[in-house]
Structure 1
Amino acid sequence: MISELQKEFHGLPVLEFPIDTAPTMPEEGPVAWRISVPTYEPPMGWPEAFEKFRAAVDPSTVQAIVVGGWTDPYEESSADVVEALVAASGDLPALRALFIGDMTVEDCEISWIVQSDVTALLTAFPRLEHLSVRGGNQLALTPVRHENLRSLVFESGGLPADVVRAVADSDLPSLTDLELWLGTEEYGADSSVEDLAPILSGEKLPLLTRLALSNSEYQDEIAAAVATAPIVPRLRVLDLSKGVLLDAGAEALLGGQSLTHLETLDLHHNYLSDGMRERLRAALEPSGMHLSLDGEDAEEDEYDGTIYRSVAVGE
């Protein structure tokens, strides 16, 4: 998840580019290059490290780039990273995948990562197939049409509503995989289930087969909307995990359209009763789907008679 750095990306092994020594070139096949600087007192900024990378590695052969840390990501945004990548787009004709913000808690808490407007990455790289971004603080996106993007992932402890709406308003005819970690109001999440309606209609996502609307405080409302959503019959994988899912949300799923065509239904980290878990297993597992119901890690807290429930990924 987010406790370890990426070991594989875009089907390629991740290889760290050394910013202070000569790189060792991979002996077999392409790799996903991870370009990073220490987040505390780095010897150089990320753009300078990227220039060293471009001088050492033939950029025309690079298929995937994983951006790790940049200088003070808890205070400074990723704008310089985005600008450097966009400026180099003409030298990266083979680039098909980008991950912005591959950091663990030792580098920066996910909800402290300061992102920026990532729209230019999509417009500058029309052949890009995968874009993944970690961190929602100051993240921005303008609705776009992108012919070749197949996978779009936003991991956050708080995803801005404007970003959710921009994704929903974008025209992504080749997208097969969409993953949104919606997060909590405490860390900047201000979307609502209404913002997800264009996604659930599927009108601009004709090829989508995997949908993750997860890590949400309003997971029950999402489940109720999914129960009648036109996009669901086209899906193979549905992920409503990591959020505050209660029996009411599961009841809506059981009472809605059939889900037995799904290969995977991921509901892990939930607040379901044992009885509801058994009902879900009895109704769905005979179809052969993989049903993830692990819920032991989701624990309620009580203070002064009030019960508090949290998403899996907050701070």
Structure 2
Amino acid sequence: MTIGAYLEEFHGLPVLDFADAASADALPDAAAVAWRVSGATYRDGDDPEWGGLFEDFLKTVDTHRVRAIVVGGWEDAYDTSSAAIVTALIAANDRLTGLEAVFLGDMTVEDCEISWIVQSDVTPLLAAYPALRELGVRGGSGLAFPSVRHAGLETLVVETGGLGAEVVRGIAGSDLPALERLELWLGTDEYGGDSSPADLAPLLSGEAFPALRSLGLCNSVIEDQVAAAVAGAPVVARLDRLDLSMGVLTDEGAAALLDGQPLTHLRELDLTHHYLSEAMRERLTAALAPHGVRVVLDDPQEPEDDGDGDVWRYVAVAE
């Protein structure tokens, strides 16, 4: 699977492309939509640059009422980092006074493969926008997230085909007292995903993020190891949603979950895109569904045998 569609909703708002809105007869209320500002990643001479589009956006829209911005593509995103976009957003903080949410890198496979998107240090956005409640990032190449403090951030989503251990440690070591939802796509080592459960220690111990209620450790080639670590992690006791989807979870990891601490308090356990046997799926459902847990077991996968004795399993999103 690859990313085949742009965000249609973000921060609870419908996403509206600024270029489409600018050509319409009238603009919507600036607070009623998430504004998508996107340029061409493979830019021809007549295509506007992202910076120029953003300046037009700031001149056209009632910026003080803007609540959410979705950054789409920028020129040569496979070779040029998001640093200039981050700088531009920071420079506009005196105009975007109501900004609550930013998504950085809403690109499909046609624009740029997820593991090719070159990101940068995104944490200065948090310093520039103390009222920010939601931050989403797509792409792990060049991504930096040194440990920070932010009093208001409630949702952090990082979507990658490979998330570096240093970034995982930076996020897990951050002071985010309001964080309710954390979703990390850990990915594969082929695309820079070199983290281990040990890098998640402050998070799993329950010492970090006291408000956390939804945890996603997704898209991981080491999903069995993650599941085993989660099975005994103190943080799970206060969650209402646990997401281990999109990875290569097998019966071994699922058994570790069931043999660990009780999960019957969860509202939802999402294991979409998995390598579980039918017997294990039945066991999970029998153990949890009677307690009101919604067990999501969609998109079952079958391992591939190359004929030489090697068996291959794949995360949902890598390239």
TM-score range, shorter-chain basis? Answer: over 0.9
RMSD: 1.5
Partner amino acid, structure 2, of 1:2? I
Q: Specify the SS of the correspondent of 1:33.
A: strand
CA contact (8 A) 1:19 1:52 kept: no
In structure 1, the partner of 2:84 is 80
Query: Which contiguous aligned blocks of 4+ residues in structure 1 show a shift greater than 4 angstroms?
Result: 19-23
Shift of 1:47: 1.3
2:168 to 146, 156, 164: 164
Shift of 1:27: 5.6
| Separation in 1, partners of 2:77, 2:159 | 15
Q: Specify the SS of the correspondent of 1:231.
A: helix
TM-score when scaled to structure 2? 0.95
Q: Specify the SS of the correspondent of 2:94.
A: helix
Shift of 1:39: 1.4
Shift of 1:165: 0.4
In structure 2, the partner of 1:30 is 32
| Separation in 2, partners of 1:154, 1:32 | 18
In structure 2, the partner of 1:4 is 5
CA contact (8 A) 1:165 1:195 kept: yes
Judging changes above 3 Å, is the alpha-carbon distance between structure 1 residues 28 and 199 closer, same or farther for their aligned structure 2 residues? closer
Shift of 1:294: 2.1
Uncovered stretches (5+) of structure 1, i.e. residues with no partner:
none
Asked if 1:67 corresponds to 2:66, the answer is: no
Q: Specify the SS of the correspondent of 1:132.
A: strand
| Separation in 2, partners of 1:44, 1:10 | 27
Asked if 1:197 corresponds to 2:201, the answer is: yes
| Separation in 1, partners of 2:20, 2:269 | 42
CA contact (8 A) 1:271 1:295 kept: no
Asked if 1:97 corresponds to 2:97, the answer is: no
Residue by residue over 1:248-298, the C-alpha shift from the partner in whole angstroms, topping out at 9 and shown as x without a partner, is 1111111111001100000111111111111111111111111011243x2
| Separation in 2, partners of 1:178, 1:21 | 34
Residue by residue over 1:40-72, the C-alpha shift from the partner in whole angstroms, topping out at 9 and shown as x without a partner, is 115222111100100111211111000001001
Asked if 1:267 corresponds to 2:271, the answer is: yes
CA contact (8 A) 1:243 1:270 kept: yes
Shift of 1:6: 1.1
The 5 A counterparts of 1:100-249 are 100-249=104-253
- Number of positions where the alignment pairs a residue of Structure 1 with one of Structure 2: 314
Paired-residue identity, % = 58
Residue by residue over 1:145-164, the C-alpha shift from the partner in whole angstroms, topping out at 9 and shown as x without a partner, is 00000000000101111110
